[in-house]
Structure 1
Amino acid sequence: MKLVVEERISVDEGQFGSGTNSPCSTSSPQMFTAKCKAAAAATSEAADLALREINGRQGFTTLDSVARKLQDAVRTYGTLGCATSPTAADTRKACLEPAAVIAQGFPDLRSGANLGLAGKY
């Protein structure tokens, strides 16, 4: 499980970055663009992979929670139309939280996997 998930995370993180280096970082000028939308899609796919890999396995509560939170953030980002550079201030503000979750997605998935493997759930 660790190798499959880590490989996916590493490839996507190399392409899109994470944290403040992510196009979805709330300080990034790309947060309201297709670049963040692509990073969000990659993050969602990595979360999906993690959930498939841990399906039925005990001890991965944190990874399960992180992956589901990421999926929700990606859905919210898409539903709000954040990648289309919305002009309404309330919409732009609503985009900040899901974008921040997405930006931190790869490190959070990695940490969740590591905690599970270490028996720390």
Structure 2
Amino acid sequence: MTITLPKPIATYFAADRADSDAIARCFSEDAVVVDERHTHAGRDAIRRWKTEAATKYDYVSEPVAVAREGDRTIVTSRVTGNFPGSPIELRYAFVLDGDAIARLEIVP
């Protein structure tokens, strides 16, 4: 099934297959990411977060559903890789600011 994602979110999932710099460019300068109960504020912190995750695990994230909840775009993605619990479906809650991501929360 093909789903249509808003451009900044589609760019994020494409960048997730590239590198940490590509991911960081998807976010506004003062963006926030919350993942595994840790908060990463600003592009530099987001770049470090993605670098650390990529160092620990090899994974692929495939969006399978998208919905709107208020100002958030919720993407359900099937994540498969070499981490405990794989595969898993995660919810990515995005808040956009124009063509950039202002906030992202990732939860099971």
TM-score after normalising by structure 2: 0.32
TM-score after normalising by structure 1: 0.30
Higher relative contact order (CA 8 A, sep 6+): 1
Could you say which structure has the higher helix fraction? Answer: 1
Greater Cα radius of gyration, structure 1 or 2: 1
